[in-house]
Structure 1
Amino acid sequence: MTLQSLFRIEVLDGGVKVTPSELLSSMPRDQQIATIKEQIRNREAALQKINNPTEANTGEPEASGHHRDEDKRELEVAIVILKNFLKRLLESHWEVLKP
């Protein structure tokens, strides 16, 4: 699943508005949480590969360093968005459970 299939992301006046997609909204809460956690793990693993490349990947041309930086920034932003959304999702669930 891509981030775009889970959310609509808009940049508005220096802020970011994240709206869940119909696909994500139609899932039961437990599945939403599991899906978001899986997306976070996948992106953190991809970021780890960029930050700590294996010896097999060190022979890449220097020009690809720019692309790695772009990929790294994109992954970092996606992770922040996913973690913030997960936090809001868990907090809203907690509010429902409070007496």
Structure 2
Amino acid sequence: MPHLLATCLALAFCSLTLSAAHAVALRAPDAKPSDFPIEPQVLQQTTEDDQVRIDETRVGGATRKLTVQPKIKGMPAYEIATPTPGRPTAQDPKAGQRVWLNIGF
């Protein structure tokens, strides 16, 4: 029984060593950060005055989310639907429409 346990432990150690060596071998030896795809820039901007607060999220320069929070008591927040990426604005019926936020998480 002790020999079986020692054999199992040795096999487990060897398999871990081989998998770690395989993972190192899979890396590109001359990979530079510029070789990988660049993530688009995400910009979150807040514009505010005495009547309203607007939170805007842009990804790669395109507006993805607009949330409007009126400062008038009792007025609910709403989103302005942005165009679907890759679809002409004229063919996107929801683009520019208000979407009321009834339930918030």
The two structures have a TM-score, normalised by structure 1, of 0.25
The structure richer in helix per residue is 1
Higher relative contact order (CA 8 A, sep 6+): 1
